[in-house]
A and B are shown apart, each in its own frame.
Chain A
Amino acid sequence: MPTFYAVEFKPWVFLEPQNLKVTANFLGDFFPPVFQSEFLLLLLKDAWTTIAIATAGMALALVFSVPLSIAASSALSVSSLTGPMHPVGFLVRQSIRWLLIVLRSIPELVWALIFVRVVGLGPAAGVLAIAVTYTGMLGKIYGEILESGDTQTSRAILVGGGGRLQAFSYGLLPQNATELLSYSVYRWECAIRSSAVLGFVGAGGLGQQMDASMKMFNGGEVATILMVLMLLVAMADQISSWMRRAVQ
């Protein structure tokens, strides 16, 4: 109950006459949605920007998270084959884990706010925000996948004198490739959702357009943008589930 009080939970304010009037006006504006060819073309460009921000951010995240998760994975520890892990190895792995926790605890929208400060308004801030947050998430999940699988092959390679990279590419990777791939594709789908939202803080794409239309109370444009957004999310959903089924 104190939580309901804290969020000022008073749903009846929606029914106050003046609020009802604003809502009715705004919702009434939704119909008809704006279907001018210029606006649609603009939205098409924004939709592509949204996809591109997500994809580029995801690609950068892969570049950073793959080496980090290999470095942090205790399945590739040579010293723990024979006894407790060497303190230096333990320290390195633990500090990488803490770095990943910090990276993913700050929401991407906040990272975007920070990067807008550093690189200015535009898609670069969005790409960097997604790259940083997803490095944290992917790094953690990749590490977990690598450690949860059967590590016998990689241990055999390490015992036989093979290097860590060899143990990874011939022992761990072949076993876990499907799971790693399908998780990455799923995350790409999530990245598209996030990048649509990042526009609200000025990182380009559909979110920015929506913010602009909303500030002008242009309901028709908002309706069209919402439709495009739903189409985009549904499309990413389909592609990602198709790809995940293909790798199984």
Chain B
Amino acid sequence: MNLAVGLNHFLLLGALLFVCGAVCMATKRNAIGILMGVELVLNAATINFVAFAYYNPIFQVEGQIFALFVIVLAAAEAAIALAIVLNFYNNHMTVDVDTAEELKG
């Protein structure tokens, strides 16, 4: 059995991490928890980028640059999202996202 770590392992890890993040977003009622899920999903994508960059010479530069992009994006997203959460808390005195139902049809 070839136990050398290959591309598929990384993709598997990325998929696993993505599913974890998605489940986290879909199940957590705490807004901070949902943000964590988002971070997981983003990191899953980063893993994929880096993995492709490593194993495929065509994407050597692009994959790494995109990974950096995603990290910066995640930082910016976190800043904005935390600000939203803070405002949400000010309005509802809680961070339970189920209380945000103004968009209900």
Say whether A associates with B.
no
B contacts, CB < 8 Å to A: none
A contacts, CB < 8 Å to B: none
